[in-house]
Structure 1
Amino acid sequence: MYFMEVNYISYFNEFEREYEVIKNASDDVLTIYLDILHFIEKKLKEIYKWLKKYVFLSIQEEIYFFKELKPRMVSKLLFYKELLKLEASLPPSKKNKKKHYEQLLTTIHQYVKANREFYEYYRSRTSFRDEDLFVRRCYKDIIKYDCCLINFDSKLSTSHDFNVATIIANDMLTNHLENKLDELNGKSKSNSTQIDHKFNWTGTKVDMTELVYAFQATGCINNGNFDLKELAIFLGTMLNVEIDSNLYGNYSDIKSRKVSKTRFINTMSDKLIEKMDNEDSKKKNQ
């Protein structure tokens, strides 16, 4: 099986690339939604078959898989299922459409409130509970966790990887609903963000991804307490580059580098030092 022949991180990166192709393959949104759902279903079946045999080399590797990789894929499944439901139930009038979108946003907000503790843990990117939440268990602690876990397959899931997928899907759905409301209110992206693009990003999207993650790791923006994709969208808007659609895939590529994981940041440091040295040298020669 293809999945077994390659590094699984490469498999997820390839999934993101194929997903982008399918997402832009048609002008018919329902066709796109269905194609994406069938595509993800096929990929998840491959992953589940692989998971039943694969032994992770470390707890950290297992946590990364169930906290970062698997939820990213499952979140897209949840998101597009919700979009299909949305299209099927959408009322015809503008007024009722707005009411429908707002009700869905309220539902998401209620879910956030009901799961605030986990939201705060995940959003803060802390890790002190990761081993408890994102490592598979052979037993079911029904007192500690939800009763629905009694029937889930412990080889395929942890207690909270689906919760992460739900958070990501809710973020995507919130963004979608807010854009729809903006359209109904006459605020399209083109006229709601009038930005004079004097500055354009001329590095690679992977280079920008390094910066986004570095801003969070160093805590130099909001003390590191922000959603990575939101910052990616903000920087992309300012610098006329779109990196948020494959942010996590780019980050996986960066983490899998054998030499110099922070290649761009290291180059920035070297170039700045070189610039300062050249300026000092010119002053001495004057």
Structure 2
Amino acid sequence: MCTDIMDLDKLNNTYNIELKKIENANTNTLKRCQDAIALCRHQLSLLKDAVKAKVFQSRDDEIHFFKKIKQIPFNCLIYYLEVYAFESQCSKINEDHRQKFTDRVKNKTYQFLMDHLDFVNYMEQGQTHLDMCFFTRSNAVQIMMMHKDDYFYDLDFNTSHDLLLAKVTAYRKFIDYLESRSHHGFNLIQHSKLKWTSSKVALTELIYALYHSRVINNGKLEIKEIAVELQKLFNIELGDFYKIYSEIRLRKHSRTKFLDEMSYSLINEIEKNDS
């Protein structure tokens, strides 16, 4: 039997929804990492079973699977494993030495990308002439294990470069994470008793509304500064709130759902009191 590439694409739909729930959950970083890692491993198991049970209809379908479909949970798995390892080690390091530790990790990650610059350029430039070699299993015997990280590895489920692509994608995201941590500080010191109990998307709406309304410090604060202070105030880590904002902009209906609901609740309460 042949594998329908559309069916494999659909397998990732539920995964994407579940991952967003984990990323928006009001839990600490390590807990979110653990949940995301478990989800990614489960999704990769489903994809592996689907691929091993059937054959691809064409080489193009096989390339699309290893270059696109599998990458969705694969690079996410690697990213969250890296974040989990970093945060676990960082928590045991004296605060005075955390920035040096972060710089070492970031330099090591940059070095990996430099060591594979030709492949990075190949992907960035949208080249495809080596895809048959890189993203089909015909050359899987040439796979070189880079190190013993707990990633999915199986000759029937890997090509010579799909792991490398996943690592490049994950490491770029990991570098952004490290830079964000350096900028915002390592600990959200919980002086406030307030706790944000709505979604991260909702708080992101509020942050951007405050920024563009110029109602804080006469509009002289950068949006990052507002985000940092509100995270401290509400004892929550937003992560990549720029990405969250991008997703808000892509909404087909109300782009200010949370703010609209707040306004409705207030108006409703005022009208109740007036009646």
Residue 105 of structure 1: how far off its partner (Å): 0.9
Distance change in 2, residues 1:84/1:58 (3 Å): same
TM-aligned CA deviation for residue 134 of structure 1: 0.3
User: Quick one: distance in 2 between partners of 1:178 and 1:147?
Assistant: 28
1:137-195 Cα distance to aligned partner (Å, 9 max, x none): 17724xxx5377xxx6332111100111001110110010000111139xxxx9xx9x9
Q: Is residue 37–residue 80 contact of structure 1 (8 Å, CA) maintained in 2?
A: yes
Shift of 1:26: 3.1
AA aligned opposite 2:35: D
Counterparts of 1:228-247 in structure 2, within 5 Å, are: 241-243=245-247
Letter of the structure 2 residue corresponding to residue 154 of structure 1: L
In the comparison of the two structures, how many residue pairs are matched? 196
1:35 has 2:39 as partner? no
In 2, the alpha carbon distance for the partners of 1:69 and 1:30 equals: 26
Give CA deviations for 1:7-55 in whole Å, capped at 9, x if unaligned: 2211112211111012222322222111111111112112111111222
Q: Which residue of 2 aligns with 1:164?
A: 165
Distance 2:62 2:163 in 1: 15
Q: Which residue of 1 aligns with 2:76?
A: 76
3-state DSSP class of the match of 1:128?
coil
Q: Is 1:132 aligned with 2:133?
A: yes
**Identical pairs, percent:** 21
In structure 2, relative to structure 1, the CA distance for the partners of 1:139 and 1:22 (3 Å cut) is closer
- Which residue in 2 is equivalent to 1:88? 88
Alpha-carbon distance in structure 1 between the residues aligned to 2:93 and 2:154: 42
Q: Which residue of 2 aligns with 1:104?
A: 105
**Partner secondary structure for residue 52 of structure 1:** helix
Query: Pairwise mapping of residues 255-270 of structure 1 onto structure 2 (< 5 A)?
Result: none
Q: Map 1:176-187 to 2 at 5 A.
A: 176-184=177-185
CA-atom RMSD, angstroms?
3.5
- State the alpha-carbon separation in 2 of the partners of residues 181 and 54 from structure 1: 46
Cα deviation for residue 243 of structure 1 reads 3.3
Query: What secondary structure sits across from 1:20 in the alignment?
Result: helix
Residues 22 and 35 in structure 1, CA contact (< 8 A), matched pair in contact too:
yes
Could you tell me the TM-score, scaled by structure 2's length? 0.62
- Secondary structure of 2:83's match? helix
Separation in 1 of the partners of 2:110 and 2:104?
Answer: 10
